[in-house]
Amino acid sequence: MVKVILKFADHLKIYMSYVNGYDMCLKTLTDLKKSSEFQKFLTESKTDLTQYLITPVQRIPRYALLLTAVKKHTEKDHPDQAVIEQALNKITSICMHINEAKRRYEQQSVMLALNLQDSDFLQPNRKLIMRSKLRLRLEKGSPELCECILFSDVYVYRSQKNRFKRMTV
């Protein structure tokens, strides 16, 4: 089993596109659940689509857990110990690669959403650092709840009634 995982491990990187689209799938499913026809379909089919959608996302981390357990229960001097270690390292590396790609995808999504209002906002070396809601005193008066986004080279904020404004870092 370990040799099979090792043999096909590089092919698991294709999960990256599925993981990147997972949030959109959940949003689409949520939108579909507003339809009475779709609700009826789900009830009649007794299907929890959310469970089906999450399964591929969880698959590769489960391989890592399986290989960790196999390694733990394999004697240190067993001839397969090196292959198990190699497979575990490969799967761990793929998990990290997919997680990093997901993080970059989410950052780009934030920048694309902001780019709709500002044509020169999207920059290839701009990185998302943090996104949060804060109470800011933008003008005289009481503080307002604002969406604040810190990138590597610019700080962007907006109150609930204003467009995004930016300040260069």
What's the confidence (pLDDT) of residue 14? 86
What's the confidence (pLDDT) of residue 164? 64
CA angle 118/124/130 to nearest 5° reads: 75
Rg (CA), the chain: 23
- 79-114 residue pLDDT tens: 999 999 999 999 999 999 988 888 888 887 877 777
Label residue 94 exposed, middle or buried (CB < 10 Å: 0-12, 13-18, 19+): buried
What's the confidence (pLDDT) of residue 115? 64
Q: Which residue has the tokens 């998990």?
A: 95
Please give the helix or strand (H or E) that residue 52 lies within, else none: helix 49-72
If you ran DSSP here, which 8-state letter would residue 123 be given? -
Q: How far is CA 68 from CA 63, 83, 119, 122, in A?
A: 8, 12, 48, 41
What's the confidence (pLDDT) of residue 67? 94
Separation of alpha carbons 141 and 149, rounded Å: 23
| Predicted confidence band of residue 117 (pLDDT cuts 50, 70, 90) | low
* Residue 124 pLDDT > 80: no
Phi-psi region of 117 (alpha: psi -120 to 50; beta: other; left: phi over 0): alpha
Separation of alpha carbons 21 and 87, rounded Å: 27
- 22-81 residue pLDDT tens: 888 888 998 998 999 998 998 899 888 888 888 888 889 999 999 999 999 999 999 999
